[in-house]
Structure 1
Amino acid sequence: MEIDWTKLFALQHELDSRIMKKHCLTGDFFSERLLALQVEVGELANETRCFKYWSVKPPSHRSEILEEYVDGIHFILSLGLVLRFETYVPKRDSCNVKNMVEQFLTIYNCISKLHSDQSIEMYGTLFSEYITLGAMLGFSEQDIEKAYLEKNVVNHERQERGY
């Protein structure tokens, strides 16, 4: 089953619009969204523990890692909406797969590049590298879509509760 990216972009648009309206915000908050994505990628890396060569503690449970992963999907979709790329379909890059640490560093590099190069090519590279990371983490497209939909509900509930 392939992810229905058009549906996820639409759901993200609905959430973003709700947040902007609720908080009386104007502007695109592009830099803030980029920084939020960097933070989410860091939280994901922390849950995988892939870089913690000094520790014997295992990674977090798969469900926690998946939840952190889809937090990143939320911000990638949100960035796409700001850039008007809401119909983009990412590709998994299986030809250039690195180890997980290198994949995280590649994603950080792509986020930094997107700050100055807001092209469809750079956005597509970031999105595709993130999808590749999801595959490296063992997530199917069905896992990702289901987790995104579940977290989207949680994000709406948070807005209702004054998050």
Structure 2
Amino acid sequence: MELNELFKIQEIIENNIKQFSDIEEDILGKENVFDLRFLALQVKTSEIANLTKCYKYSRIKENIPKEKLMIRYIDAMKFLLSIGNVHHFNIINGDAINAVKKEDSIIKIFSYIFDDIKDLKHAILQDDFVYALSIYIRLFARFINLGELLGFSFEEIYGYYLEQVEL
């Protein structure tokens, strides 16, 4: 897993956005930017769930165009990587990710991801780096697991992420 490269690429993307943006983070306020990243991760993850319709009893949506699903997945991943960069969780590696138990239910994985997002935010606000890092590792692993449940290998995700950056 080339996790370090993903974190570096996301940092470059954000630095480029800051250069071309008229809005400075200082104007928005540190607390607002903090909340914005977590809210964006929740919203983008919710868009994936909405696209799959896995939350409906009557059906799970079949035949979703892979490209459309991947775009939504990468959109959410950008915020996950951003949180990792800002809070110095970008030290994680593939071994840590692979040590987390995988889930085979897409409904459960979405639920766990939302719980982890809330727990991570709370741990960061409590200034508990070690606990926050452990939650971030679990969240990242579950996010990779979600990708697998959606039919993506990590190599596909990594390749698509790189393609989007080159555009």
Aligned-residue offset at 1:135: 1.4
CA distance in 2, matches of 1:48, 1:65: 8
CA distance in 2, matches of 1:47, 1:5: 26
State the match for 2:128 in structure 1. Answer: none
Aligned-residue offset at 1:69: 1.0
State the match for 1:25 in structure 2. Answer: 25
CA distance in 2, matches of 1:64, 1:92: 27
3-state DSSP class of the match of 2:54? coil
Q: Which runs of 5+ in 1 are unaligned?
A: 155-163
State the match for 1:9 in structure 2. Answer: 7
Query: More displaced, 37-46 or 93-102?
Result: 93-102
Aligned-residue offset at 1:93: 6.0
Aligned-residue offset at 1:87: 2.5
- Equivalences for 1:5-84 in 2 at 5 Å? 5-21=3-19, 22=21, 23-26=23-26, 27=30, 29-55=33-59, 58-84=62-88
Structure 1 residue ranges, 4+ long, deviating more than 6 angstroms after superposition: none
Aligned-residue offset at 1:82: 0.8
- Over the matched positions of the two proteins, sequence identity in percent amounts to 30
Counterparts in 2 of 1:51 and 1:11: CA distance versus 1, 3 Å: same
- Structure 1 residue identity aligned to 2:135: M
State the match for 2:161 in structure 1. Answer: 148
TM-score computed with the length of structure 1 as normaliser: 0.82
State the match for 2:103 in structure 1. Answer: 97
Comparing both chains, which one has the higher relative contact order based on Cα–Cα distances under 8 Å and sequence gaps of 6 or more? 1
Aligned-residue offset at 1:19: 2.2
Aligned partner (choices 63, 85, 88) of residue 89 of structure 2: 85
Counterparts in 2 of 1:139 and 1:17: CA distance versus 1, 3 Å: same
Aligned-residue offset at 1:136: 1.5
Deviation track 1:81-108 (CA, whole Å, cap 9, x = no partner) reads 1101223225146744141111101100
Contact kept? 1:9, 1:87, Cα under 8 Å:
no
- Structure 1 residue identity aligned to 2:64: S
Aligned-residue offset at 1:58: 2.7
TM-score computed with the length of structure 2 as normaliser: 0.81
